[in-house]
């Protein structure tokens, strides 16, 4: 089934009924660009689910939000860029609590129902005077009416090294799903490195939302692997207002949600730091989906392969070398590899002339036939460029 959202579907976190959003400048970033976002669920339902980073070094907002989401309920989410609030000790945890309490007080809700997300540099305390003042400004703007661009403003405010805001949407049979994401580096599961807020006006309970979200992220964000580096702050939230009154079939809803997540995941890879190529690595005829995923991911994490693509060199030997490091079932003498439609490797050996491969465009498709079964999986990644090295060598300076 085609997961791509419809062309004219409203985008972003305010696409679904029952949600308001705002993005403002609180002065957290030296650039003076927007850096604080707020998304509020006006109900009638306040059901929610979330998936978080599996990094054992998790940021303070992760610990807080895990507790908030445990009962499957959330009133709102406050998000800041300009500081990850990770590896900040007891003060960092206190600052997350203070952020939640200040936002909850301004909204007139329980702080225990307030989700918190942060993104930016690890190992620095947040300027809480600016955060607190910004919360007041954001809540006042929300109360005054954030207007039709509230969702877009929120998507802009959560950007860090992103070059563009990222939004997606889906609508079907009277209900809608909308979402925003940030992320341009440290993109590797569990989850890709990101903050994502997805909203829906479908009438679904928290356990249903949780099942749908985990199914959707497994084949979308978990398949985006830019640089093999996992963040301390990964968060994907799904909030449901029930405002449409529509209770969709769960499989149908999961399919629509997967479309939104896949769209956002592709946008993350397209905006990866310094990337010149967006690469899809499809392994097929595998003994299992896990095998196919392992093979594709091994290639996606090969710096030799990624630099070859940057140099427009269809060096298929680097593909086979990566495949050979996996535990997947295959016979090395039966492997086939195609790059942008040219079968450069046939039966584990030389195929068509590699000079026939055109890598001048941004899109690259690598297809690996394992000849071991019927399963398949695709991992999305990008090349490794001079710009990526430059940006990440100077990130904290």
Q: Is 193 a catalytic residue?
A: yes
Helix (H, G, I), strand (E, B) or coil at 366: strand
Q: How far is CA 147 from the centre of its chain?
A: 26
CA distances for 357 relative to 97, 156, 319, 344, angstroms: 54, 37, 15, 8
Residue with tokens 């809540």: 139
Catalytic residue selected from 9, 160, 193, 326: 193
Measured distance CA(94)–CA(56) in Å, rounded:
20
Measured distance CA(117)–CA(131) in Å, rounded:
13
Measured distance CA(285)–CA(336) in Å, rounded:
11
Measured distance CA(291)–CA(110) in Å, rounded:
45
Contacts of 361 (CB under 8 A, 6+ apart): none
- State the DSSP H helix or E strand holding residue 157, giving kind and residue range, or none if neither: helix 150-157
| Both structure tokens of 325 | 């490091």
The catalytic residue positions are 193
């Amino acid at each position: 089934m085609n997961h791509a959202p419809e062309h004219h579907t409203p985008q972003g976190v305010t696409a679904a009924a029952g949600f308001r959003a705002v993005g403002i400048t609180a002065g957290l970033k030296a650039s003076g660009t927007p850096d604080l976002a707020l998304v509020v669920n006006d109900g009638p339902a306040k059901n929610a689910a979330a998936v978080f980073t599996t990094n054992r070094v998790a940021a303070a907002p992760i610990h807080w939000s895990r507790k908030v989401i445990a009962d499957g309920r959330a009133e709102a989410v406050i998000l800041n860029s300009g500081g990850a609030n990770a590896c900040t000790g007891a003060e960092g945890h206190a600052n997350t609590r203070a952020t939640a309490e200040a936002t909850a007080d301004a909204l007139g809700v329980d702080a225990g129902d307030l989700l918190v997300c942060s993104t930016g540099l690890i190992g620095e305390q947040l300027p809480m005077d600016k955060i607190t003042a910004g919360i007041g400004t954001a809540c006042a703007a929300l109360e005054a009416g954030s207007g039709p661009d509230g969702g877009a403003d929120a998507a802009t405010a959560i950007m860090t090294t992103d070059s563009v805001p990222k939004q997606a949407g889906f609508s079907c049979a009277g209900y809608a799903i909308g979402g925003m994401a940030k992320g341009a580096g440290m993109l590797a599961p569990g989850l890709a490195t990101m903050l994502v807020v997805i909203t829906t006006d479908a009438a679904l309970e928290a356990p249903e939302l949780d099942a749908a979200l985990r199914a959707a992220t497994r084949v979308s964000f978990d398949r985006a692997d830019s640089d093999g580096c996992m963040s301390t702050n990964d968060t994907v939230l799904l909030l449901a207002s029930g405002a449409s009154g529509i209770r969709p079939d769960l499989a149908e809803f999961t399919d629509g949600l997967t479309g939104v997540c896949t769209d956002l995941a592709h946008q993350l890879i397209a905006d990866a730091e310094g990337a010149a190529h967006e690469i899809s690595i499809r392994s097929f005829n595998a003994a299992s989906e896990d095998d196919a995923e392992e093979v594709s991911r091994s290639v996606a994490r090969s710096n030799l392969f990624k630099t070859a693509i940057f140099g427009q060199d269809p060096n298929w030997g680097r593909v086979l070398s990566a495949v050979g490091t996996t535990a997947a079932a295959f016979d090395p003498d039966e492997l086939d590899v195609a790059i942008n439609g040219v079968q450069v490797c046939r039966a584990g050996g030389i195929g068509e002339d590699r000079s026939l491969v055109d890598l001048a465009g941004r899109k690259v498709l690598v297809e690996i036939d394992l000849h071991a079964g019927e399963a398949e999986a695709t991992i999305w990644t990008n090349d490794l460029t001079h710009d990526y090295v430059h940006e990440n060598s100077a990130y904290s300076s």
